[in-house]
A and B are shown apart, each in its own frame.
Chain A
Amino acid sequence: MNASGRRGGRLGAAGAYGIALAFLAAAMLVSALVGAADLNPVATVAAMLDRIPFVHLPSNLDPLDRAVLFQIRLPRIVLGAMVGGLLSVAGAGYQGVFRNPLVDSGMLGASAGAGLGATLAIVYLGGHGYGPAAVPVAAFAGSLAGVAIAYLAGAVGGPGTATLLLAGVAVGLFLAAVQTYVLQRSAQDLQQVYYWLLGSLSGATWQQAVEILPYSVISVTIVLLHGRHLDVLSVGDEEARALGTYPGRIRLVVVAACALAAASAVAVSGLIGFVGIVVPHVVRRLAGPSYRLVLPLSLLVGAGFLVLADTLARTVVSPAELPIGVVTALVGSPVFVWILRSTSAVHT
C-alpha cells in the first residue's frame, strides 16, 4: 500500500502545507494581476519580488501601474488574506472547542454584536462625521462584547458546550433585535448599514492592515498553540479531564482568542459568512481531523480563499463591486452541501 492509501486518502503534513502555500501564493498572484488596470504580468511579479528584502529585480512597471499595484491592489490582497485567515482560524478553533463542525465565529453573539456596534456608530456618529473612523472600532468592540455576554450567560447555565451555544444563539437574536430597532428609527442609514453587513474590502488600506496586525498576531498565536488541546477535547470533556487537562479553561482561552481574531477581521471587512465553516472542512478532508494541522492550514487556505473571493467580488460586475459576503455565500453554500454529502457518505 502506498503512503496516501495508508492514510485513507489524506495528505501528509508536508504535502498539505505545500498545497496550502501554493494555493495562497497563486491566489495572491491572480488577484494582483486581475482588475480594471491591465498590469504586465512579468513586470508585476518582478516589482513585487523586488520588495522582498535582499531581492533586487529591475521592473519596467510604469509609475501609474506601480501605484495601482502597491496602493490599491496589494493592500486589499493583504487585508483580504488576513481577514480570510483570521475568520478560518477562528472558525476552526470554535469547531474544536464546541466539538461541532457547524459552529463558526458568527455564533456566540460575535456577528450580531459587531452588527449592532457598527449600526450604532453609523446611526449616531455618522451625522457628526466620525462614522468612517468609528465603525471599525465599534464593530470590534461589539463583536467582543457579544461573545463576552454569551459566554457569561452560558456559564451561568452550568458547564457544557450545548448551554454555551444556546446562550450564544439567544444573545445573538437579542442583539439583532436591538439593531433592527435602532435601524427602524433611522431609515436613512439603512443602505449604509446593509452594505456594511454584507462585507467588503473595497476601502482596504495599508493602515487597516497595520491596525489589526497586533490583534491578529496575538489571537492567531494563541489559537495555534492550542491545537493539541483541541485534539484532546475531541474525546469529550470527561476523558479530557481524566487525561489531566482542564476543558473549561481551554475553552475559555480559545474562545477569547477566536473572538479577538474574528473581531479584528470584522472591524475591517464587515460580516463575511461561510469562510469559517467551509475552509476548515476542506482542510479536514485534505489533512485529517487533527487540529495541530487543521488550524495552521485553515489560516493559509482561508487567506487564499478570501483573496480569490474578493477578486471575484471586484471583477465579476466591474466596474461595480459585489459584496464579498455574497461571493463567499454563493461559492460557499454549494461547496458546503457537497462536503456534507460526501462526508456523510463516508460515515454511514
Chain B
Amino acid sequence: MSTIAVRALTVNLDHVPVLHAVSCTVESGGWMALIGPNGAGKTTLLRAVAGLLPHRGTILLDGADIGSLRGRGRARLIAYVPQTPVLPPDMTVEEYVLLGRTPHLSYLGGPGRRDREKAAEASDRLDVARFGYRRLGSLSSGERQRVVLARALAQEPGVLLLDEPTSLLDIGHQQQVLELVDDLRCSRGVTVVSTLHDLTSASQYAGELVLLHQGRIEAAGAATAVLTEDLIARVYAARVTVSTDPGGSTIVTPVREPPAA
C-alpha cells in the first residue's frame, strides 16, 4: 500500500518560488501524470517528493509524514528516475541494476545473494538480463531506459517517480516503456508518479492528471476533465483539438493554422 499525498507543498529554488502550496493525491497502485509547459514545476514536484529538495508542506505516504525520513529509509519506499540518468559508460548492465539494492544494504555491507536475486529478477522483468554483461555506453536509448527502470525496480519501492521516462524514445519504444511501467503498476501494486510531455500518452496511461502552470495546479482529475481545448490553449499557448478515440482515451492533436493566402 503506497498512497502518496502532497499537502501545501512549497519549494523555492535560489529564493525564487517554483511551487506554490501544491496539493495532490494518488491512490496506492495508481498512476498520476504531471503535465504542464516547460518550467511549470513538474520536475521540482517530483524531486521534492523524492526528498532531494528542501521544501515546506507535508508529504504523506499512507498517511504518515515522510518529510523527516531521509537516506535509506526513504529510498526503500520511493525510487526516483531522473529525465537523463547518469549512466557510467564502462559499468555493465548487471553492476548498474545491482546499484538499485543500495538502500537495502548496511553502510559497510555488500550485496548478498538475496540482493543479486532481486536485481536479476528486476532485470528479467524488464528483459535486460540477456545483455547483463554489456557496458552501459554501448546501449541504445530504449535499452538504457529499460536498464534504468530495472535499477529502480530492484529498489523494491512502493512508489516510482519517473521524470519524462519517454523523452528520448521513438513512438514504438515510448509505448513499450509505458506498457512496462503500467505492467509493474498492475502486477506489483507500485504507485507511479511521472511527468509526461505527451498529453495523449498521459491520458492513455495515467488515471489522474495534474496540470501544473507557473508552480500552481491549474486542473486535476481524469483526462476528460483536464485535457480541454481551452485549458491547453491557455496554459500551453498551443492550438490543439481534443477528441476521444473508440477506446475512450482522450486524443490531443496539434493543429496548424492554415497559412495566410
Interface residues of A (CB under 8 A from B): 6-8, 225, 228, 231-232, 234-236, 238-239, 241-246, 284, 288-290, 292, 347
B52 contacts partner chain A, Cβ-Cβ < 8 Å: yes
Question: In the complex, A25→B110 CA distance in Å?
Answer: 29
For chain B, residues 86 to 110, give those with C-beta under 8 angstroms from any C-beta of chain A: 86-92, 95-96, 99-100, 102-103, 105, 108, 110
A289 close to B88 (CB less than 8 A) = yes
Say yes or no: A239 contacts B135, CB within 8 Å. no
B75-83, B199-207, B225-233: which lies at the interface: B75-83
With a cutoff of 8 Å between Cβ atoms, the chain B residues found around residue A225 in the complex are 108
**Contact among A8, A228, A232, A235 for B135, CB-based, below 8 A:** A8
Known: A242-B80, A243-B75, A244-B76. 19 other contacts (CB 8 A): A7-B92, A8-B134, A8-B135, A231-B95, A231-B99, A232-B102, A238-B52, A242-B52, A243-B100, A243-B103, A243-B155, A244-B72, A244-B74, A244-B75, A288-B95, A289-B91, A290-B95, A347-B89, A347-B137
Q: Give per-residue flags for B38-49: 1 if the beta carbon is below 8 A from chain A beta carbons, else 0.
A: 000000000000
Note all chain A residues with C-beta closer than 8 A to B17.
Answer: none
- Knowing A236-B86, A238-B52, A241-B52, the reply to whether A7 touches B133 (Cβ < 8 A) is yes
Chain A residues near B61 (CB-CB < 8 A): none
Q: What A residues does B95 contact at CB under 8 A?
A: 231, 288, 290
CB of A99 to closest CB in B, whole Å: 9
Residue interface bits B57-74, CB-to-A below 8 A is 1, else 0: 000000000000001111
Asked whether A235 lies within 8 Å of B52 as measured between CB atoms, the reply is no
Chain A residues with CB under 8 A of B111: 228
Interface centre among B50, B80, B86 (most CB of A within 10 A): B86
Interchain Cβ contacts under 8 Å between A and B, 27 examples: A8-B92, A228-B110, A228-B111, A231-B95, A231-B99, A232-B99, A232-B102, A234-B86, A234-B88, A235-B85, A235-B88, A235-B96, A239-B85, A242-B80, A243-B102, A244-B72, A244-B73, A244-B74, A244-B76, A244-B103, A245-B71, A245-B72, A245-B102, A289-B88, A289-B91, A290-B95, A347-B89
Identify which of A235, A242, A284, A347 gathers the most chain B CB atoms within 10 Å of its CB.
A242
Known: A228-B105, A241-B52, A290-B91. A246 touches B71 (CB 8 A): yes
Q: Tell me which of B50, B75, B82, B102 has the highest count of chain A C-beta atoms within 10 A of its own C-beta.
A: B102
Q: How far apart sit A245 and B76, CA to CA, in the bound complex (Å)?
A: 11
CA distance A288 to B133 in the complex (A): 11
Given A7-B133, A235-B85, A243-B102, does the pair A288, B90 have CB atoms closer than 8 Å?
yes
Q: How far is the CA of A53 from the CA of B50 in the complex (A)?
A: 56
Query: Chain B: which residue is nearest A236 at the CB level?
Result: B86
Q: What is the interface of chain B, defined by CB distance below 8 A to chain A? A: 50-52, 71-76, 79-80, 82, 85-92, 95-96, 99-100, 102-103, 105, 108, 110-111, 133-135, 137, 155
Q: How far is the CB of B118 from chain A (nearest CB, A)?
A: 14
Q: When the two chains form their complex, are residues A238 and B82 in contact, meaning their CB atoms are under 8 A apart?
A: yes
Given that A228-B110, A288-B90, A289-B91 are known contacts, is A244 also in contact with B52, CB under 8 Å in the complex? no
Please indicate the chain A residues that have their CB under 8 angstroms from the CB of B75 in the complex: 242-244
In the bound complex, CA of A179 to CA of B209 (Å): 64
In the assembled complex, which residues on chain A have CB atoms less than 8 Å from the CB atom of B76?
244
- What A residues does B73 contact at CB under 8 A? 244
Residues of B within 8 A of A231 (CB): 91, 95, 99
CA gap between A239 and B50 in the complex, in Å: 10
Closest to A234 in B: B88
Contacts of B87 in A (CB 8 A): 235
Q: With both chains docked as a complex, state the minimum distance between the C-beta of A234 and any C-beta of chain B, in angstroms.
A: 5
What's the Cα separation between A261 and B51 when bound, in Å? Answer: 35
Which A residues touch B102, using CB under 8 A?
232, 243-245
CA distance A288 to B71 in the complex (A): 28
Distance of A235 Cα from B85 Cα, bound (Å): 8
Name the residue of chain B whose CB is nearest to the CB of A245: B102
Closest CB in chain A relative to B99 CB, distance in Å: 6
Which residues does chain B contribute within 8 Å of A243, judged by CB atoms?
Answer: 75, 99-100, 102-103, 155
Known: A238-B82, A243-B75, A244-B75. A288 touches B92 (CB 8 A): yes
Of the candidates B86, B89, B110, the one whose C-beta lies within 8 Å of that of A239 is B86
Which residues from A are CB-within-8-Å of B90? 284, 288-289
B246–chain A nearest beta-carbon distance, Å:
40
Task: Evaluate contact between A239 and B82: CB separation under 8 angstroms.
Answer: yes
Q: Please, which residues of chain B bring their CB within 8 A of the CB of A234?
A: 86, 88, 91
A193 to B149, CA, bound (A): 56
Contact of A244 among B71, B85, B108, B110 (CB under 8 A): B71
Expressed in whole angstroms, the Cα–Cα distance for A201 and B86 within the complex equals 42
Residue of B at shortest CB range from A235?
B86
Report how far A341 CA is from B189 CA in the complex, Å. 49
- Nearest CB in chain A to that of B101: its residue: A243
* Inter-chain contact B88/A242, CB cutoff 8 Å: no
Complex alpha-carbon distance, A7 and B92, angstroms: 8
**Residue in chain B with minimal CB distance to A6:** B133
Q: Which residue of B lies closest to A242 (CB)?
A: B80
Query: B residues within 8 A CB of A241?
Result: 51-52
